[in-house]
Amino acid sequence: MESDQRRKVAKEKIAAIINFRSAELGIGVRELARRAGVPPATVSQIGNFTRVPGPITLAKLANALQLDSGLREIFMEEGAVLSSRMKSFSEMATPLEIIRSFVGTFGYRFNIVPEDVIRLVTDERLERSPWDFVIELSNKRLLAIKFKPDCFFLTFASSLESLCCGLDFDFERAGLIKIALNHGP
């Protein structure tokens, strides 16, 4: 029974963080969902405790809510309590480790290796950008990545300005590199 109570508290904390930051940002469920790239129903269900978010959904919400490191840690720790698919925050790989692993899996297609990844780019100009990650590579080029449920898009750029294209950017029509993800049979 103690674990049921702990799960209830975790759901309440996650909902409280979502509600608090949404109010601070002046956004509603639909706007939060759009920024996070998830259906509005997902945000509503998490908020009213009828859905347990997985690690990817939590990470998308944390990014969309622009959580600072302290609040993000609480958010992800509470998610780990709820989801058997998540490790605790202290056991999770850093974003840079995740990106290097991603590059290790797909980079060969573009002649890049994990060691080419220098850093994740954080810049206020990217706050209104649709990209999930922007990475600086050793050749000073930038690699921008956008994850979708069934694929991801990526592009290379030489400047941040060329990546600041607005949140309503149409990835399908932009002529970017698109890689489909197989989800089994």
60, 90, 120 - which closes a domain: 90
**The predicted structure's pLDDT at residue 185:** 47
Question: Given CA atoms 91, 87, 134, 137 in this order, what sign does their dihedral have?
Answer: positive
Exposure string for 53-74, b = 16+ CB within 10 A, e = fewer: beeebbbbbbebbebeeeebee
Residue-level pLDDT at 174: 79
pLDDT at residue 30, rounded to an integer: 93
Do residues 118 and 78 both lie within one domain? no
The domain boundary residue, chosen from 56, 90, 124:
90
Point out the domain boundary residue: 90, 116, 140: 90
What predicted TM-score, i.e. pTM, was given to this entire model?
0.51
pLDDT for the residue numbered 92: 54
Q: Which range marks the domain in which residue 161 is found? A: 95-180
CA count, 13 A, side-chain hemisphere, 154: 20
> Who's near 73: CB < 8 A, 6+ residues apart?
89
Report pLDDT for 27: 93
- For residues 49 and 64, state if they share a domain: yes
In 3D space, the residue among 150, 135, 83 whose CA is nearest the CA of residue 75 turns out to be 83
Residue 147's pLDDT is what? Answer: 79
In a domain, 185, yes or no: no
Task: Verify that 101 and 59 share a domain, yes or no.
Answer: no
What is the model's pLDDT at position 81? 81
For residue 184, the model assigns a pLDDT of 47
Q: Which residues does the chain have with pLDDT short of 50? A: 1, 88-89, 183-185
Given the structure tokens 């400047």, which residue do they identify? 159
Per-residue confidence (pLDDT) for residue 6, from 0 to 100: 82
Rounded CA-CA distance 128/4 in Å is 39
Structure tokens that stand for 169 in this block:
């950017």
C-alpha to C-alpha distance for 28 and 48, rounded to whole angstroms: 14
Say whether both 85 and 6 belong to one domain. yes
Query: Residues 65, 136: one domain?
Result: no
Residues 111 and 166 reside in one and the same domain: yes
**pLDDT for the residue 2:** 63
